[in-house]
Amino acid sequence: MGPYEGDVSSESIDYEPVSVKDVLVEMKDTSELLIDLSYSAVLHGSEAIAREVLTLEEKMGVLQMRARMSLMMAARNPSDTERLAPVLGVVGGAQKISDAAGDVAKIVIEEMGLPEAMRAAIPEAVEMLVRGTVARDSEFAGRTLEDVNLESRTGVRVIAIRRGPEWILNPGPETMVESADVVILRGPDQSIADVYETYTGEAYEPPEVDEPGVDDLDRAVDSIVHMKNLSELAVDLAYSSILFDNVELAEEVRNLEVEVDALQSRFEAWTLRAAADADDPVALRGLIRLGIATEVISDAALEISEGVLRDIEVHPVVELAVKESDEIISRVEIEPGSPLVGTDVVEGIPDTEVSMSVIAIRRPDEGWLLVADAETELAAGDVLIAKGTRTSAETFEKLASA
């Protein structure tokens, strides 16, 4: 078998005077897209998306090398060395995430085998992720995303574009779509087919879903999907903890890592029990690989936040990245008597006048609840992880107090 596109390249990388801050931000965006694409490739059984993961994995290798070069140039004295050490943890953690995402993608490429129950794990009525190539005669070719204005009309958005070997992450309103671009689309199931066809000129074929048949296997699959969601959250919080020098967020990364470890243990037991009843136990090999890679991602998130947990002063290059961020992630704990007690949260939006989006809740007796696609009622003792502007976050934190 020949080398994959995403395997380690022998291409030389020369030092360039690149901002450490810019490299870190690009590594963060690449890490998040890698996780998203790799698990989508597995859930949808898409080799095309899996191949895109490997091209991104190679990009991450280049970013990692450039980050190391820039960090060595930035260290001028022992104090710099101490404050830059946690940034090396960010670089190392990002590379582990990249490697794990590549391992997940190869489950599909190598046809390693996955139970049909994985397809059934695709949540109903939840956003889908697809990959397509823009046709020469597409009405979207040669237009900006703002001009196309897809998201407001259909709910479908372009989350990344690959133009030849180059990636455009987090494309903005002024980003131009060109024919032959590879676009990564995310949006509701009911809209994605029409948008995909308009971009590519080809009919969209949704993944087929078969009913799972083994109880222990069902539990194993549910467990791995939950592990994946918690690991994604851990990566998001880890980067935010170091960008905002927030020890509370770093502590939540540690809590998430402990939860994923516990899930991994139960997942292994259910998978082994399911093997006794499965028609083809070898088909569970990919599921085992998925569990290992998912735990690696949560471990990497903890490595990224290690500098904050050890209370090492943040380096100015990280502070520069923070100043450019309008949106922040915050952690608040609801105290008894808080006006937030009893507040409804629907699809992550709390019923308040504060424009914050709750992405997760940690409850003392229940563990983690990911609320983006759920409804719940806030209670005293809930620890909330929320996104919003700095001003909104400050107001929200005051509301959480009695």
Domain borders along the chain are 20-120+210-318, 128-200, 326-400
The pTM for the full model equals: 0.76
- Same fold for the pair 20-120+210-318 and 326-400: no
Model pLDDT for residues 336-363, shown as the tens digit of each residue: 999 999 999 887 888 888 888 888 899 8
Model pLDDT for residues 219-258, shown as the tens digit of each residue: 777 788 888 888 988 998 888 887 777 889 899 999 999 9
How is domain 128-200 classified at the architecture level of CATH? 2-Layer Sandwich (3.30)
Q: What secondary structure does DSSP assign to 212-276, as a single string? A: P--HHHHHHHHHHHHHHHHHHHHHHHHHHHHHTT-HHHHHHHHHHHHHHHHHHHHHHHHHHHHHH
| Topology of the domain comprising 20-120+210-318 | Methane Monooxygenase Hydroxylase; Chain G, domain 1 (1.20.58)
The arithmetic mean of pLDDT across residues 35-50, rounded, is 87
Beta strand ranges found along 59-122 (DSSP E): none
Tokens read off for 67: 């980050």
pLDDT at 12: 57
Cα–Cα dist 271/264, whole Å: 10
Helix (H, G, I), strand (E, B) or coil at 157: strand
Model pLDDT for residues 128-153, shown as the tens digit of each residue: 788 999 999 999 999 999 898 888 88
Q: What confidence tier does 3 reach under pLDDT thresholds 50, 70, 90?
A: very low
Tokens read off for 288: 């085992």
Closest CA to 90 of 228, 316, 241, 247: 241
pLDDT at 373: 59
pLDDT at 315: 61
pLDDT at 317: 60
Is 41 a residue whose pLDDT tops 80?
yes
User: Which residues does residue 344 pair with via DSSP β-bridges, in sequence order?
Assistant: 377
pLDDT at 137: 93
Window from 191-200, 294-303, 318-327, 388-397 with minimum mean pLDDT: 318-327
Q: Are 43 and 108 in contact (CB under 8 A)?
A: no
What CATH class does 326-400 carry? alpha beta
